[in-house]
């Protein structure tokens, strides 16, 4: 380390933990450390500690921080932490040669073209995405993240451009009878129904509640099917492990709706490079996803089904894609 004068710092900053690492020019991560955000008053405090622990103070430091909040203004106020700071002031305080802040979902998206076979799981379609083609990413989690990666070539330099979007908030369109039952249930309670209302942790809970409500309505108030609210984790666990009928039905419908939405992205963006599913929910039940009707709904696009059929689908299994994506972004900027 003493012979290295240029250091590339990357960090993935969540609401609970901050992970900091050093990146090589080919996006390999080294010297990874994890810190509890609650232990520090300011972001600069933990970054200074890492720099001191790694004995890299005085080196030429470039940094990219993936952070869970908007990053298009100089003043950053984190959504889930009491940290607020100026990007230019932070760069000066740490003595950085350059500083880039990107949204945490953009970091996840930037990691996708560089995932190994061990960091992703093939779900359907061709085993590999088409080279130099658009890639779409969606991630059911707390919400429904959506991003698009487009390959760009400028002066013989090849890189990826990430287009952030709020695609998770487009209008939900029912496809089958149970979709319509869920739609009607939500329509009586919500001013508007987006895909995020179904494809998120909260969304799985709402699907389950809609099914319970419908079952109760057809059986009558004196023979209620189930009234206890369940968390998304409980629903998926009960569907896979306990084989609870209602939970299985809820999770199956979640997978169907995800198939329709992912297939829509394939049409919208001509995503022959692949559809990648991120987030903390789907990796918990990959085999369940494979065995259900996800694939059938993915390709059910009428005259344009051939586009979806040619589009591979993967689930990201790498637990920390944000660090890798921050490294990719930083290297594209300074190489």
**How far is the C-alpha of 64 from the C-alpha of 100, rounded, in Å?**
5
136 near 148, Cβ under 8 Å? yes
Q: State the alpha helices, DSSP H only, in 270-320.
A: 286-291, 294-299, 305-309
Q: What's the chain's Rg over C-alpha atoms?
A: 22
- At a CB cut-off of 8 Å and minimum separation 6, what does 299 contact? 263, 305, 308, 309
288 near 251, Cβ under 8 Å? yes
Query: Binding-site residues for ATP, please?
Result: 11-16
215 near 209, Cβ under 8 Å? no
Beta-carbon-side half-sphere exposure of residue 65 (alpha carbons within 13 Å): 22
Cβ atoms within 10 Å, residue 158: 10
Angle at 150 between CA 147 and CA 154, to 5 degrees: 145
Query: Binding-site residues, please?
Result: 11-16
93 near 259, Cβ under 8 Å? no
Asked whether the CA dihedral 2, 66, 280, 164 is positive or negative, the reply is negative
Q: Which of 301, 231, 204 is nearest to 259 (CA)?
A: 301
């Amino acid at each position: 380390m003493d012979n290295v004068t240029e250091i590339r710092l990357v960090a993935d900053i969540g609401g609970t933990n901050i992970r900091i690492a050093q990146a090589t020019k080919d996006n390999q991560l080294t010297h990874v450390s994890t810190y509890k955000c609650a232990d520090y008053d300011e972001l600069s405090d933990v970054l200074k500690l890492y720099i001191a622990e790694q004995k890299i103070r005085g080196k030429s430091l470039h940094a990219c921080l993936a952070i869970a909040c908007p990053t298009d203004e100089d003043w950053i106020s984190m959504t889930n932490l009491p940290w607020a700071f100026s990007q230019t002031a932070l760069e000066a305080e740490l003595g950085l040669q350059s500083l880039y802040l990107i949204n945490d979902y953009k970091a996840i998206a930037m990691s996708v073209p560089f995932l190994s076979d061990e960091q992703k799981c093939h779900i359907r379609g061709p085993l590999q995405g088409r080279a130099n083609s658009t890639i779409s990413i969606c991630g059911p989690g707390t919400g429904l993240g959506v991003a698009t990666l487009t390959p760009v070539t400028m002066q013989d330099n090849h890189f990826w451009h990430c287009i952030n979007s709020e695609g998770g908030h487009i209008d939900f369109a029912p496809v089958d009878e149970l979709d319509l039952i869920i739609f009607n249930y939500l329509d009586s309670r919500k001013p508007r129904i987006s895909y995020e209302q179904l494809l998120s942790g909260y969304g799985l809970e709402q699907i389950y509640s809609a099914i319970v409500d419908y079952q109760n309505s057809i059986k009558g108030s004196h023979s209620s099917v189930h009234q206890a609210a369940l968390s998304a984790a409980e629903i998926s666990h009960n569907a896979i492990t306990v084989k609870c009928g209602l939970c299985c039905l809820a999770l199956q419908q979640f997978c169907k709706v995800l198939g329709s939405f992912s297939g829509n992205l394939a049409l919208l963006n001509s995503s022959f490079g692949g559809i990648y599913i991120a987030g903390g929910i789907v990796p918990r039940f990959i085999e369940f996803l494979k065995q259900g009707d996800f694939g059938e709904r993915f390709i059910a696009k009428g005259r344009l089904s051939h586009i979806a059929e040619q589009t591979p689908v993967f689930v990201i299994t790498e637990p920390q894609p944000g660090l890798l994506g921050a490294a990719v972004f930083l290297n594209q900027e300074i190489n």
